[in-house]
Structure 1
Amino acid sequence: MNLSYLSASVPNGETFELEHIIARKRIDAADSSRPRHILGNSLGNCMYLPRGINNPKKDKTLYEINDHNRYSQLIKESQYFSEDEMQKAMQALTASDYESVNGLLRERSRQVAHTLVRALLKDSV
């Protein structure tokens, strides 16, 4: 059983990798402190990406590589940040406004956790 938040839409035969929504390179550039102020490894900053998307994406967002709306469905199904939220996150990174970035990450963590719990409860009934 696939217990990820994408369990209903991820094809079984496709290879997926766990990846950061806000790229690690961008977080590293904004926050070099140890321990980090930004919750970059939290559930709110993680998603599964098909290997073919993940490798070329590197330090970009899915919006930056979404030619012809190719990844719009994945963005929707993965509870990816909205374009407005992503823009706010990038501005907050630039301004070293860690609390704003973390607020967005915490909110997405909550959303993904609720989705996982609903999927678990649905499968157990």
Structure 2
Amino acid sequence: MTAVMRDNPVVAMIRDTFPIYIDIWREFFGLVGFPMDDVITVALCFAPDLVTTTEPLFADVVLDKGVARGQTVAYRGHQILPGGGGPKTTRIAKGLDGRRFLSIFKAAMACYERTVAPQPKPEGLF
């Protein structure tokens, strides 16, 4: 993005700030890049078809102390353990149209370019 967007304060902030996150995710989790969970979640507000999801499931969050605290557990099928029942209101994302998401993301970032003519608005944003 920095090669294309030369006077863009948002892209400059990403360039200056995010290398540390990339290093952390590579060193501690063995991943290339970094997760964009929050950005994808915002994109889903106007483009929910970016992801494929499970059927509605009952989900619960572990509140007890221990290593599982804060984990979300989704119940599939017949449950014999207590707590496995409840309304099936949660869908879990299984797949992402990554190319389309990145296209939307880059178009949104291009809106902050200062030295060029106004950019076309990203698909589905406005």
TM-score category of the 2 structures, normalised to the smaller one: under 0.3
Task: Name the one with the larger helix percent.
Answer: 1
Higher relative contact order (CA 8 A, sep 6+): 1
- When Rg is computed on C-alpha atoms for both structures, the one with the higher figure is 2
